Amino acid sequence: MATNQSWKSFPALQSCEQNVGELAGRELAGVSDIPAGSRIVLYRSDSAPETADGPRPVACQHPRARHVEPVAGPGWAGYRFVVADQGQDHQTEDHDEKGTASLESALAGDRAEGFHVAVLPADLVQRLNTAPVVLVFDVDSTLIQQEVIELLAAHAGREAEVAEVTERAMRGEIDFSQSLHHRVAALAGLPRQVIAEVAQLATPTTGATNLINAAHAHGGTACAVSGGFTQVLQILRHRLGLDEFRANTLEIVDDRLTGAVVGEVVDATVKGQQLTRWRETLGTTDPPTAAVVVAIGDGANDMQMVQRADYGIAFNAKPALRPHADLELDIASLDPVRALLGY
């Protein structure tokens, strides 16, 4: 979607990255721009102990949701904000239309407690009452915590070289297809069994499994479109709960990787096209209902799928992706996404 971003950020409520608004190149708006019927999710993260690279974010603790509902009374109309913590409503506040500052004050108070703010617009909240959700994930550093190609490269003694090229590709500094061919060439000669060994090292991102299970429980679908490899996703598919996936295919001859891929490279364009196909095929037929597509990625090669989604999320993302997303999620957990969807 990422076309009307006025409801995304609020002056008094910016996250700990104070330059988020400037980085994304957009003006920050006021709380009065939040449509009645929207869902506001408040989330926060703690930091793990300091490392050489500084503090590391860990899973968010207890996402809190405010559901903004239209209400009316004698001579006035306004909003009701239902605050839920861990799935339990614990507070309801009514504010008339003259008092949007009271919402701003409430959210500012949440911000003072260390909460970040995310908003799902009213139209998507309403659609999710009747339409299935299709979750479309990038895989490396999004659905799982690792970069698989770097794990493979470690077996070839070339992890640092491959990691540097991966980082540049994710920042959008070099062409993704060219970078993929360069990185895969470093894997030439590795035995086939290394793929299974590496797949066992993959760790789902915190909250990913719960998000997918909740989507399935509500009739939704979980898909992945990856610049990684089909041979790895074939192993991970059931562990992650994926219904559909698309990725690159490593060429294997005589049980060894040749250093090449077979077929079309899954780049930014292909990711966007695949999301569109899933949107067209994974809705309901009785009655015909278009799915609500939520895309989650972290790199420049996720730009087209994030733009084409009904709701695009930049997850701990590179700067190149952030301006194209509806939400910038800068914690090491997907739990706030589940709360946004009302699960």
Which residues are catalytic, by number? Answer: 138, 140
324: CB partners within 8 A, 6+ apart = 2, 303, 306, 307, 312, 314
Distance, CA of 39 to CA of 333 (rounded, Å):
19
CA-based torsion, 312, 313, 317, 323: positive or negative:
positive
Taking the C-alpha atoms of residue 227 and residue 271, their distance in angstroms, rounded to an integer, is: 9
Long-range CB contact pairs, 73-80, < 8 A, 24+: 79/36, 79/103
Nearest in space to 97 (alpha carbons), one of 123, 71, 121, 118: 71
Distance CA 130, CA 121 (A): 16
Report whether 177 contacts 261 (CB < 8 A): no
| CB-based contacts of 174, cutoff 8 Å, min separation 6 | 165, 168
